[in-house]
Amino acid sequence: MKKIILALIALSCNSCINNYYYNENRGLRPKKPKFRLAKPLPYHLQPDDLIDTTCVYVYTSSQKTKMALRFFANGRFINSFGNADYNNLEANEIGYYRVENKNIVLMETFIRSSPAAGGEGIYYRSVGIIKNDTLYDVLGAQNLSDVHRVGDEILTFYHIYYTYTKQKADTLKGTPNW
């Protein structure tokens, strides 16, 4: 009986030490946001940046699972991992981005690590490269120094992880509030 009581106390205390919470739409949010890309101020899209905020960037896996990235002009974005509801800002992963050299996108997302890794909320950084109507998410690249430019070509020692294709969206709505 004592073991059961101790286990229940331990489980209830576990939720007290998490650095995240789920909002009413099951969206994962940090308790105390510490996005590095939000400081000193969030990025504001420049006229010559290649990110298009009037569309979404969609990845479809071989199992037909869809993910979508939606960027906002104020330096914020959502990752609709596992669903393609890019208008429900409350139910998706949130993040910040910055654009370098017009077509290199530094992204930082708040995600939950696997239970085996402790299940904590972590800030995951990635680098995307925009070429034509495609955003290439580079696996393992976390900083601008991981991507090198040689003339007009962008080289990396890492592999392309996801290939997002730009798709026009007729009804984009919502304003990020994080």
Tens-place pLDDT, residues 134-152: 998 876 666 666 665 544 5
pLDDT of res. 6: 53
> pLDDT higher for 127 or 119?
127
Where do the domains of the chain lie?
A: 33-168
- In the block, tokens 């940090």 appear at 30
Strand partners for 127: 106, 138
Q: How far is CA 56 from the centre of its chain?
A: 13
Whether 68 and 58 have beta carbons less than 8 Å apart is answered as yes
* CA-based nearest residue to 95, from 74, 78, 80: 78
Handedness of CA 142, 162, 116, 35 (dihedral sign): positive
Specify the pTM.
0.79
CA distance readout (Å), 169 to 22, 41, 51, 58, 99: 27, 28, 14, 11, 22
The 10 Å Cβ neighbour count of residue 136 is 19
pLDDT digits (tens, 9 = 90+) for 49-80: 999 999 999 998 877 778 899 999 999 999 98
Quick one: pLDDT band at residue 122, thresholds 50, 70, 90? confident
